[in-house]
Chain A
Amino acid sequence: MRDGTRLGFILLLTPLLLWLSLLIIIPHIDMFLVSLRERVGVGKYEISPANYLTFLQEPLYLWTFLRTAVMSVLATLITLVVAFPVAYYIAKMAKGRVRSLLFLLCLVPFWVSELVRTFGWMILLRETGVISSLLQYLGLVHGPVEMLYNDAAIMIGLVYTSMLFMVVPLITTLGSLDDAVIEAGYDLGGSGPSILREIVIPHAMPGIVSGCIVVFMLSLGNYLTPTMLGGKDSLWFTELIYSQFIVRFNWELGAAFGFVLLFLSSFIVWVMLRLTGQTLEKTMG
């Protein structure tokens, strides 16, 4: 019996271990080794931190890196601000069928691929697109307006693609808040904003942090949205990695970029956890 459970445990664990080691750990170790070598001649390599130094010495790389980080943090905050009222309404105010329906409506856009959804935004925002035509038709502007290929367009795309990943954890934590606790807040003299600040947000903190971590990682690692909505000047760090690997065949530098990105995301997640006083176990459990 005991041996049986043990065997079952091993069998259940095997796919996970295989997945982790084959797809994550081994490639990363290899990438790390690649990032640490420098090409000194045809087919000749030496171990050196040259690739990392290149990253630090080239302003464009550093600038893109910072820009990606700041934009991702901003996108995360905007997503939180937009998603919180939506989640609050679904979790606390809507009842029964309306609640399921609203939740489904949040989910529906995710049934089509990210590519198609991003094209949807391009149709809306481009020079000959819906919004531009509408503004011209209404006589508000005189020529076509280009709303694509700028930072605002990237931001819209990032917020839109990651909404669901913020809404779901928020609904879960807000749903576990007893209505009576909110009522008790009112009963004891609390006003709407103070209850939000002292009761609702502290209660929803694990959901807020886990939503933020997911959205931040998705934004940071997003390739499609910045490329399509930001155009060729979008300067997103993942694009740099892509071009090093695919366009310039400089795997060494690409691997170093990949590692820098990994450190950045780990660092920012760590800072986020420290600032909010949450632990990873609490937010993921």
Chain B
Amino acid sequence: MTPDLQCIDLTKRFGDTTAVSDVSFSVPPGSFFSILGPSGCGKTTIMRMIAGFLAPTSGDILIKGKSVLDVAPNKRPVNMVFQHLALFPMMNVADNIGYGLRRAGLPKRDITRKVGEVLERIGLPEIGRRRVDELSGGQKQRVAIARCMVLEPDVLLLDEPLGALDLKLRERMKIELKALQADFDTTFVYITHDQSEALVMSDQIAVMNQGCFEQMGTARDLYYRPETPFVAGFVGDSNRWSGRIERSDGGAPELRTDSGLLIRGNAQGRALGDGQSADIFVRPEAIRLSRNETELTSLDNHLKGRVTSLLFNAAASRVLVRDEGSAGEIEVALPQSGEFDDLAKGDVVHIGWSGEQANCFAAGAE
């Protein structure tokens, strides 16, 4: 099946700076594809090139198998939901949604019908005559999507559209967006710097850093099997240690950290030699917390420490544990099953994790 959107060796340079360098990817029809990266990584540049507002320095963009480089933005079969939505404040909701149809020269009757249908679909059938500034944040969001979807584009681009919403609404809109995408059965390309947005909604995620794609895969791939130290550090939280490999025992090397800790890790097939400097990443939620040592003896890494601080944040609560042998603090997820409710600063605890959960990368690969 021809992918809906395909970018081949896409490069964009502004003067001496390379904003996007040799990015290639393809998005199968009907899927939700996200580009996740910190601000300034070049993701907006990619989006603007796909929409047609920027011309790539080199490379090609294909939509449904046809190159669109020579097609002006107002003729491309892609539409974009802008960061601040960019609804037309001088028109009411129905005129906003009907704008593209009017430009396409549809008869008035068809426009009215289509606008009515799409309003029905986004669950706001009564708001056609309202002014844009009378809508709530979530309603504006849905109108902005409807304004694009009424044109039945091959690809819908979304440029961090949830950024301006408050937390509760953002959580709800994530679910709603995913449902709308399934409902319209259109390819969505979504860019964001918020990993939870990307992880929750996407079929495929590309993690981007400094103009390049670091890794492309499903949310689980990125979380469990990061391929680069950047992805390991950017997606989810991590404890990170730098050190030197003491024993490169096949796929399970042992690393002596700069603070003196010995950690058994997992190289996932990456070549690591004895004595090589390396970084190791362990997620706080992959570390088990216990009051007695015997529970943890089956794990590759275990140590005893003292609680230096409790960071309560409901389900995402953390305990900082200072290891007795070294100086570093380790962030550990606080299980909310009740057994650690009385944990206090200064308590002695045991922590441990399996080598499988500790991703090891050669240093300087970032």
The yes or no verdict on A and B being binding partners is yes
Chain A residues with a Cβ under 8 A of chain B: 178, 180-181, 183-191, 194, 198-199, 202-203
Q: How far is the CB of B293 from chain A (nearest CB, A)?
A: 59
- Partner of B80 from the list A178, A187, A198, A202 (CB cut-off 8 Å) is A187
Q: Chain A contact residues: over half helix, strand or loop, or mixed?
A: helix
- Which residues of chain B are near A181, meaning CB under 8 Å? 86-89
**Is B365 interfacial (CB 8 A cutoff)?**
no
Q: What are the interface flags for B266-304 relative to A under an 8 Å C-beta threshold, 1 for contact and 0 otherwise? A: 000000000000000000000000000000000000000
Do B82 and A180 touch across chains, with their CB atoms under 8 A apart?
A: yes
- Which residues of chain A are near B103, meaning CB under 8 Å? 188-191, 194
**Is B83 interfacial (CB 8 A cutoff)?**
yes
- Partner of A184 from the list B52, B75, B80 (CB cut-off 8 Å) is B80
**Is B53 interfacial (CB 8 A cutoff)?**
yes
Interface residues of B in 44-84 (CB under 8 A from A): 51-53, 72-75, 78-80, 82-84
Q: What are the interface flags for B112-146 relative to A under an 8 Å C-beta threshold, 1 for contact and 0 otherwise? A: 00000000000000000000000000000000000
**Is B315 interfacial (CB 8 A cutoff)?**
no
- Which residues of chain B are near A187, meaning CB under 8 Å? 51-52, 73-74, 78-80
Nearest neighbor of B95 in chain A, beta-carbon distance: A198
Q: How far is the CB of A253 from chain B (nearest CB, A)?
A: 47
Q: How far is the CB of B162 from chain A (nearest CB, A)?
A: 16
Nearest neighbor of A177 in chain B, beta-carbon distance: B89
A249–B147 CA distance with the chains assembled, in angstroms:
68
Do A184 and B74 touch across chains, with their CB atoms under 8 A apart?
A: no
Given the interface pairs A188-B148, A189-B151, A191-B74, the reply to whether A178 lies near B99 with Cβ below 8 Å is no
Report 15 cross-chain contacts, Cβ distance below 8 Å, ordered by A residue. Answer: A178-B86, A180-B84, A180-B86, A183-B51, A183-B86, A187-B51, A187-B74, A187-B80, A188-B151, A189-B75, A190-B100, A191-B74, A194-B103, A199-B90, A203-B90
Q: How far is the CB of B39 from chain A (nearest CB, A)?
A: 17
Q: How far is the CB of B188 from chain A (nearest CB, A)?
A: 15
**Is B167 interfacial (CB 8 A cutoff)?**
no
Given the interface pairs A188-B148, A189-B103, A199-B88, the reply to whether A183 lies near B82 with Cβ below 8 Å is yes
- Partner of A180 from the list B52, B78, B83 (CB cut-off 8 Å) is B83
- For chain B, the count of residues having a C-beta within 8 Å of the partner chain is 26
Q: How far is the CB of A87 from chain B (nearest CB, A)?
A: 18
Q: How many A-B residue pairs have CB under 8 A?
A: 65
Given the interface pairs A199-B90, A203-B90, the reply to whether A188 lies near B100 with Cβ below 8 Å is yes
Nearest neighbor of B157 in chain A, beta-carbon distance: A187
A77–B78 CA distance with the chains assembled, in angstroms:
39
- Which residues of chain B are near A185, meaning CB under 8 Å? 88, 99
Do A202 and B90 touch across chains, with their CB atoms under 8 A apart?
A: yes
A189–B98 CA distance with the chains assembled, in angstroms:
11
A190–B103 CA distance with the chains assembled, in angstroms:
6
**Is B104 interfacial (CB 8 A cutoff)?**
yes
Nearest neighbor of B147 in chain A, beta-carbon distance: A188
Q: How far is the CB of B201 from chain A (nearest CB, A)?
A: 22
Do A183 and B53 touch across chains, with their CB atoms under 8 A apart?
A: yes
A186–B73 CA distance with the chains assembled, in angstroms:
6
- Which residues of chain B are near A191, meaning CB under 8 Å? 74, 103
Q: How far is the CB of A194 from chain B (nearest CB, A)?
A: 6
Q: What are the interface flags for B208-222 relative to A under an 8 Å C-beta threshold, 1 for contact and 0 otherwise? A: 000000000000000
- Which residues of chain B are near A180, meaning CB under 8 Å? 82-84, 86
Nearest neighbor of A192 in chain B, beta-carbon distance: B74
Nearest neighbor of B78 in chain A, beta-carbon distance: A187
Q: Which of A180, A181, A185, A187 has the most CB of B within 10 A?
A: A187
Do A190 and B99 touch across chains, with their CB atoms under 8 A apart?
A: yes
Do A190 and B74 touch across chains, with their CB atoms under 8 A apart?
A: yes
- Which residues of chain A are near B104, meaning CB under 8 Å? 189
Q: How far is the CB of A9 from chain B (nearest CB, A)?
A: 32
Nearest neighbor of B82 in chain A, beta-carbon distance: A180
- Which residues of chain B are near A188, meaning CB under 8 Å? 74, 79, 99-100, 103, 147-148, 151
A128–B72 CA distance with the chains assembled, in angstroms:
52
A203–B51 CA distance with the chains assembled, in angstroms:
24
Given the interface pairs A186-B73, A186-B74, A187-B51, the reply to whether A198 lies near B86 with Cβ below 8 Å is no
A155–B53 CA distance with the chains assembled, in angstroms:
41
A196–B334 CA distance with the chains assembled, in angstroms:
58
Q: How far is the CB of A88 from chain B (nearest CB, A)?
A: 16
Do A184 and B86 touch across chains, with their CB atoms under 8 A apart?
A: yes
Q: How far is the CB of A259 from chain B (nearest CB, A)?
A: 38
Nearest neighbor of A182 in chain B, beta-carbon distance: B86
Q: How far is the CB of A276 from chain B (nearest CB, A)?
A: 13
